[in-house]
């Protein structure tokens, strides 16, 4: 247990928690929750802290419940292509344990050395390979949680196909610690492909890159990743001063080679340069490209739109920022329609007005395209003007009912998430 100055690493948005505790077992987690529940102290689960600042700012410091001591690989049966681990196990540690058996968890969130399994599931974090392999929702087959009332609940199971009872794993993916403390998870695995290659194709304009991405989507190619970077993000990764598509292929060496060749043919009509191979170290840097484009971004937003509208969204969003004297950097998982945008003020102005105005405009763009947009990070002054989460409408009322039923004491990250849950 940590108190006072030791709490430094757990300060979020200037708010210091009342204490941080690090239980070592599921029973200890339950004990902590029971104490917190009876004292009415809010509890925030903490894995690697990579998404700790995501969400509506909390009204009260509360208790940080760290999972760092619960970091064991419980079970890995290679023949079953499944693994069970405690929630505090990091993604990197899991991948290296699995790799010894030629397997991997096909999920590649940013900061794998810090990000934990439980945290990645709670925040629904993913990376470029989601294009082919999906997200936590497609890979999580079992979950054990401690509820806000101290009950230990298991959902799903340890087998890859299972329809017994409600699909609780789906409920916990992306629930940001508001429905239960994830303490143990079981995931589906895949064999490590024989070969993998990441290539970049440069384009004159974002629009051309978007059209090329659609051509790839409609082709026989089976890329593992299909990211679109605008000029700013591209430059931040050292890929040159123009927009680019960054595309991953895996499989047998002959499949990878054939797809790279075919890609060259597919992108040429859109003015795409011939594909250049990137170092594998580039993979984990892709997600962070927009934020790396500027020394100190003013805000980060994540937009979800229909995949075919990605390029248009980037162009509109860039203009919206420019009109207010701001600049932006964009990256997108072009095949799934998920974008990340960073906003920056070249004149170092920090008044929240214009920033909030651009973010609100980006949000209405996403909504007009049938999607939504959430703030990933912004200063408190900006968060005060732009709600972190988009409006979930009627579905938000169901979310609120779920929260009220499953966490009746309202002590798990209260008010942090969508619809005030």
Partner 1 sequence: MAPLTDTRKRELRRELEAIVGQGAVLSDPDELLVYESDGLTLFRALADFVVFPTTAEHVAAVVRLAHREELPFVARGAGTGLSGGCLPAEGGIVISLMRMNRVLEVDYDNQIAVVEPGLVNLHLSWAVGPQGYYFAPDPSSQQACTIGGNVANNSGGPHTLKYGVTVNHVLGLEVVMPDGEIVWLGGRTREALGYDLAGVFVGSEGTFGIATKIVVRLLRKPQAVKTVLAVFDRIEQASAAVSAVIARGLVPAAVEMIDQLTIQAVEDAFGCGYPRDAAAALLVELDGLSRGMEVQTVRIIEACRDSGAREVRTARDETERQLLWKGRKSAFGAYGRVSPAYMVMDGVIPRTKLPYVLSRVNEIVAAHGLRVGNVFHAGDGNLHPNILYDPRIPGEEARVMEAGAAIMKLCAEVGGSISGEHGIGLEKVDFMPFIFSVADLDFMQRLKRAFNPTGRCNPGKIFPTRKSCGEAGPVAYRPHPIEEKGLAQRF
Range 330-389, binding partner 1 (CB under 8 A): 336-338, 370-372, 374, 389
The CB-of-235 to partner 1 minimum distance in angstroms stands at 27
Q: Give the C-alpha separation, 338 to 33, whole Å.
A: 35
Binding of partner 1 at residue 308 (CB under 8 A)?
Answer: yes
**DSSP classification of residue 400:** H
Per-residue x/- marks for partner 1, 73-112, CB under 8 A? ----xxxxxx-------------------x----------
Q: Which is nearer to partner 1, 298 or 406 (CB)?
A: 406
For residue 351, the minimal CB distance to partner 1 (Å) is: 29
* Rounded least distance, CB 57 to partner 1, Å: 18
**Quick check: helix, strand or coil at residue 394?**
helix
Of the two residues 73 and 152, which places its CB atom closer to partner 1 in the complex? Answer: 152
Question: What angle do the packed helices 310-323 and 206-217 form, to 10 degrees?
Answer: 160
Write the CA distances from 113 to 77, 116, 120, 194, integer angstroms.
Answer: 23, 8, 12, 24
Residue from 5, 163, 241, 348 in contact with partner 1 (CB under 8 A):
163
CA atoms within 13 A on the CB side of 184: 21
Q: Which of 14, 218, 238, 346 binds partner 1 (CB under 8 A)?
A: 218
- The closest of 276, 289, 397, 306 to 342, measured between CA atoms, is 289
> What's the closest the beta carbon of residue 175 comes to partner 1, in angstroms?
6
Query: Which residue from 17, 63, 56 is spatially nearest to 40, judged by alpha carbons?
Result: 63
Tell me which of 2, 41, 73, 160 binds partner 1, using CB under 8 A.
160
Q: Should residue 120 be labelled a site residue for partner 1 when binding is judged by CB under 8 A?
A: no
- Of the candidate residues 164, 238, 295, 296, the single one contacting partner 1 (CB under 8 A): 164
Alpha helices in 2-106 (DSSP H): 26-39, 91-99
| CA-to-CA separations, 196 to 27, 103, 323, 396, in angstroms, rounded | 42, 14, 41, 41
> With the C-alpha atoms ordered 391, 392, 397, 400, is the resulting torsion angle positive or negative?
negative
**Of 13, 18, 28, 167, which one interacts with partner 1 (CB under 8 A)?**
167
Q: Which of 324, 392, 409, 410 binds partner 1 (CB under 8 A)?
A: 392
Whichever of 60 and 401 has its CB closer to partner 1, that residue is 401
Q: Judged by CB under 8 A, which of 194, 350, 351, 353 binds partner 1?
A: 194
Among 1, 74, 306, 384, binds partner 1 (CB under 8 A): 306
> How many of the chain's residues bind partner 1 (CB under 8 A)?
82
Cβ neighbours of residue 6 closer than 8 Å, sequence gap 6 or more: 20
Rg of the chain taking only CA atoms, in angstroms: 22
CB 421, min distance to partner 1, A:
8
Q: How many CB atoms lie within 10 A of CB 87?
A: 26
Q: Residues 1, 53, 113, 191: which binds partner 1 (CB under 8 A)?
A: 191
Query: Which C-beta is closer to partner 1: that of 259 or that of 345?
Result: 259
Phi, psi of 395 (to 5 degrees): -60, -30
292/298 Cα distance (integer angstroms)? 12
Kindly state the smallest distance separating residue 169's Cβ from partner 1, in Å: 9
Provide the token pair at 201: 């194709």
Angstrom distance (rounded) from CA 302 to CA 304: 7
Q: Which stretch binds partner 1 (CB under 8 A): 44-52, 92-100, 147-155, 377-385?
A: 147-155
Choices 52-60, 275-283, 304-312, 320-328 (CB under 8 A): range interacting with partner 1: 304-312
**166 lies in the site for partner 1, by CB under 8 A:** yes
CB-nearer residue toward partner 1: 197 or 235: 197
168 C-beta neighbours (distance < 10 Å), count? 20
Q: Measured from the CB of residue 363, what is the shortest distance to partner 1 in angstroms?
A: 11
Q: Please select the residue that binds partner 1; options are 300, 406, 411, 412, rule is CB under 8 A.
A: 406
Tell me which residue of 281, 218, 224, 276 sits closest to 250, measured CA to CA: 224
Q: Which of 390, 411, 413, 414 binds partner 1 (CB under 8 A)?
A: 390
- Of residues 234 through 263, those in contact with partner 1 by CB under 8 A are 251-252, 254-255, 258-259
**Nearest in space to 399 (alpha carbons), one of 413, 372, 419, 371:** 419
| Count of all residues that appear for the chain in the document | 421
């Amino acid at each position: 247990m940590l108190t006072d100055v030791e709490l430094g690493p757990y300060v979020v948005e200037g708010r210091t928690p009342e204490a941080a505790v690090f239980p070592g077992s599921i029973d200890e987690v339950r004990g902590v929750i029971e104490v917190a529940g009876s004292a009415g102290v809010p509890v925030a689960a903490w894995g690697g802290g990579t998404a700790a600042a995501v969400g509506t700012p909390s009204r009260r410091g509360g208790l940080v419940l760290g999972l760092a001591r619960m970091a064991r690989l419980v079970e890995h049966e290679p023949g079953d292509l499944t693994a069970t681990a405690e929630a505090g196990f990091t993604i990197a540690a899991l991948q290296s344990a699995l790799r010894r058996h030629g397997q991997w968890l096909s999920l590649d969130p940013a900061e794998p050395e810090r990000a934990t399994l439980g945290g990645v599931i709670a925040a629904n974090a993913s990376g470029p390979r989601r294009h082919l392999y999906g997200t936590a929702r497609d890979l999580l087959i079992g979950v054990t949680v401690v509820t806000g009332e101290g009950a230990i609940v298991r959902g799903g199971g340890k087998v890859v196909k299972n329809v017994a009872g409600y699909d609780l794993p789906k409920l916990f993916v992306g629930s940001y610690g508001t429905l239960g403390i994830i303490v143990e998870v079981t995931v589906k695995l895949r064999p490590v492909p024989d070969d993998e290659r990441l290539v970049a194709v440069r384009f004159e304009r974002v629009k051309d890159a978007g059209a090329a991405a659609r051509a790839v989507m409609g082709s026989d190619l089976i890329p593992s990743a299909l990211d679109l970077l605008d000029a700013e993000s591209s430059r931040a990764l050292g890929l040159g001063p123009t927009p680019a598509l960054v595309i991953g292929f895996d499989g047998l060496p002959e499949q990878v080679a054939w797809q790279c060749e075919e890609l060259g043919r597919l992108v040429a009509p859109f003015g795409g340069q011939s594909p250049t191979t990137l170092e594998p170290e580039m993979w984990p840097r892709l997600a962070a490209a927009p934020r790396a484009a500027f020394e100190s971004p003013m805000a980060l937003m994540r937009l979800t739109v229909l995949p075919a509208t990605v390029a248009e969204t980037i162009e509109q969003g860039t203009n919206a920022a420019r009109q207010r004297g701001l600049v932006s950097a964009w990256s997108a998982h072009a095949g799934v329609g998920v974008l990340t945008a960073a906003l920056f003020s070249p004149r170092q102005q920090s008044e929240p007005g214009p920033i909030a105005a651009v973010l609100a405009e980006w949000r209405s763009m996403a909504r007009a395209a049938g999607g939504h947009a959430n703030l990933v990070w912004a200063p408190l002054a900006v968060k005060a003007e732009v709600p972190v989460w988009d409006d979930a409408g009627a579905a938000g009322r169901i979310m609120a009912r779920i929260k009220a039923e499953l966490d009746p004491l309202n002590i798990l990250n209260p008010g942090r998430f969508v619809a005030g849950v």
